[in-house]
Chains A and B, each alone.
Chain A
Amino acid sequence: MTDNGSDLRRWRLPRGRHGLPRELVTRSQRERLLAAVVRVTAANGYEATSVADILEEAGVGRESFYELFEDKKDCLLAARQLLVDDLAATVSAAYRGPGPWVDRLRNGLAAMLDWFAADPAAARVVVVELAAVGAASRSLFQADFNRFTKLLDDGFEEEEPVPGLPQATTLAVGAALARVFESVVRGRTAQLPSLLPGLTYEVLVPFVGETVARAEEHRAAEIGGAA
């Protein structure tokens, strides 16, 4: 059992007749299994994780597991999808707000870094452990990457700067992912928010040039320092 966060077993429903609807029981099991698979995969690595580890962490029986999921991979990918959807919604909410594009972009980046920093286990599953599931990981990576590129593209308005490079939004998503990956692998996920100034510069410079990007880097540092 992992020791991070609260014990999922406390959410187990009482034994014997509790009269709760079947649907609620299933949902409780599913939720605990999804939280558990992320915790144990982040702690042990995907390869070393067994279904038994997930059951132990979740306090769910083997039979119930196989009623809900095909196997370990199915369970992990379901949890990961939930996480990526949540990340996209969080970043989108921050990025699509009011104000000039440069500010919205910085808000989106800050929300992204905060999201990863808030749950290092989730961060590890999303950016590192995915690759371990085999060939299915490639199309998932691709879909997620495109989703964030599109999210960034959709936030542009007419008056916004024209990038100096054809695939500047791809470049931006790549810059963000490289930063997150690097920090997660080095075990520095919780420190991600401190990277906001540097990342703001990297993402902006192809769009606005050296001088403006440098000024925005300093502004991001001031905002971060004041918060």
Chain B
Amino acid sequence: MRSVLEPTIPIDVGVRSQRQRIIEAMINCCAEKTYAGTTIADLVSRASISRTTFYKRFAGKRECFDAALDCCLDELQAAATRSHSSSDSAPEAVRKAAVAILDLMASKPALAQLVVGEAVAVEPAVIKRYRGLLIPALEALWDTTGEPRDSHTDRRLAFGRAQVLIYNQITAGDTKAVSDLLPEIVYISLLPFAGHEEALKQARLTGGDVSTGSGDR
């Protein structure tokens, strides 16, 4: 039986809070001055911890960055998963997931910058990891709904194209404008699986998903 005197607060709450503060410092520093320009001193001062504590939680700057990236990817993945239900068709689910991901990026510019900008700058091969997350997730949508999927373009390229577009929008300094890209991102995500017609149809439907207009070319 549990003693009333047994602590109810998890034993690692302090450690986790420190880790989380350092990770957030990393995300914000990267957005402001890029990974290359971020120093341990920046992180220490921003997270209000000591240098010793930093090195207790992370072996170095790169390990801390990798943890920050994991944290951002988890958040994006959770948002994408929540966005659609089993009653959606595969193309609808892809559209809704894209809306959820871009909305999250628009509301958290630093997260977006880290995932599509800094991570690729730190380790260009991270693209492979993104694909490893995204492509099976997209394919699974088609498999569970039992809809036919066709190979129209190399599906491995879809992420790279989306990343370039979002990065370009973010470097323009207007993260809210990321939502302007919604039709294009939905189109890119669907083209390899559903072809031009269906991709275009879903891209046009995004007009109802966002409040901001997509603007003319």
Binding site for B on A (CB under 8 A): 47, 128, 131-135, 137-139, 141-142, 145, 153, 163-171, 174-175, 177-179, 181-182, 185, 198, 201-202, 205-206, 209-210, 213
Q: Contact partner of B164 among A128, A177, A185, CB < 8 A?
A: A177
Q: Point out the residues of chain A lying under 8 angstroms from B216, CB to CB.
A: 166
Given A134-B34, A135-B34, is A210 in contact with B197 using a C-beta cutoff of 8 Å? yes
Can you list 10 A-B pairs with a CB-CB distance of less than 8 A?
Answer: A131-B120, A138-B117, A139-B171, A164-B203, A165-B203, A166-B184, A166-B215, A170-B168, A170-B184, A179-B157
Secondary structure at the A interface, as helix, strand, loop or mixed, is helix
B184 touching A167 by the CB < 8 A rule? yes
Report how far A142 CA is from B173 CA in the complex, Å: 10
A167 touching B217 by the CB < 8 A rule? yes
Report how far A139 CA is from B165 CA in the complex, Å: 15
9 nearest CB pairs, A to B: A131-B121, A178-B160, A138-B171, A174-B164, A210-B196, A185-B124, A142-B171, A178-B161, A134-B37
> Is B187 part of the binding interface, using a Cβ–Cβ cutoff of 8 Å?
yes
Q: Point out the residues of chain A lying under 8 angstroms from B217, CB to CB.
A: 153, 163, 166-169
Report how far A182 CA is from B158 CA in the complex, Å: 12
Q: Point out the residues of chain B lying under 8 angstroms from A137, CB to CB.
A: 34, 121
B117 touching A131 by the CB < 8 A rule? yes
B214 touching A167 by the CB < 8 A rule? yes
Given A132-B121, A167-B184, A198-B153, is A175 in contact with B161 using a C-beta cutoff of 8 Å? yes
Q: Point out the residues of chain B lying under 8 angstroms from A202, CB to CB.
A: 153, 157, 161
- Name the CB-closest residue of B to A133: B36
Report how far A141 CA is from B120 CA in the complex, Å: 14
User: 0/1 per residue, B113-139, Cβ < 8 Å to A?
Assistant: 000010011001101000000000000
Number of interface residues of B (CB under 8 A): 40
A-B CB pair tally, cutoff 8 Å: 107
Q: Point out the residues of chain A lying under 8 angstroms from B152, CB to CB.
A: 210
A170 → B minimal CB distance (Å): 6
- Name the CB-closest residue of A to B32: A135
B210 → A minimal CB distance (Å): 12
Which residues of B (179-217) have their CB < 8 Å from a CB of A? 180-181, 183-184, 187-188, 191, 195-197, 200, 203, 214-217
Report how far A15 CA is from B203 CA in the complex, Å: 66
B36 touching A141 by the CB < 8 A rule? no
- Name the CB-closest residue of A to B186: A165
Given A163-B217, A166-B183, A167-B180, is A205 in contact with B157 using a C-beta cutoff of 8 Å? no
B37 touching A178 by the CB < 8 A rule? no
Q: Point out the residues of chain A lying under 8 angstroms from B160, CB to CB.
A: 178-179, 181-182
A171 touching B191 by the CB < 8 A rule? no
> Is B172 part of the binding interface, using a Cβ–Cβ cutoff of 8 Å?
yes
B127 touching A182 by the CB < 8 A rule? yes
Q: Point out the residues of chain B lying under 8 angstroms from A168, CB to CB.
A: 184, 217
Max chain B C-beta neighbours (<10 A), residue from A132, A163, A166, A177: A166
Q: Point out the residues of chain A lying under 8 angstroms from B171, CB to CB.
A: 138-139, 141-142, 145
> Is B167 part of the binding interface, using a Cβ–Cβ cutoff of 8 Å?
yes
A145 touching B187 by the CB < 8 A rule? no
Q: Point out the residues of chain B lying under 8 angstroms from A210, CB to CB.
A: 152, 195-197
> Is B2 part of the binding interface, using a Cβ–Cβ cutoff of 8 Å?
no
Q: Point out the residues of chain A lying under 8 angstroms from B184, CB to CB.
A: 165-168, 170-171, 174
B82 → A minimal CB distance (Å): 27
A178 touching B157 by the CB < 8 A rule? yes
- Name the CB-closest residue of B to A206: B187
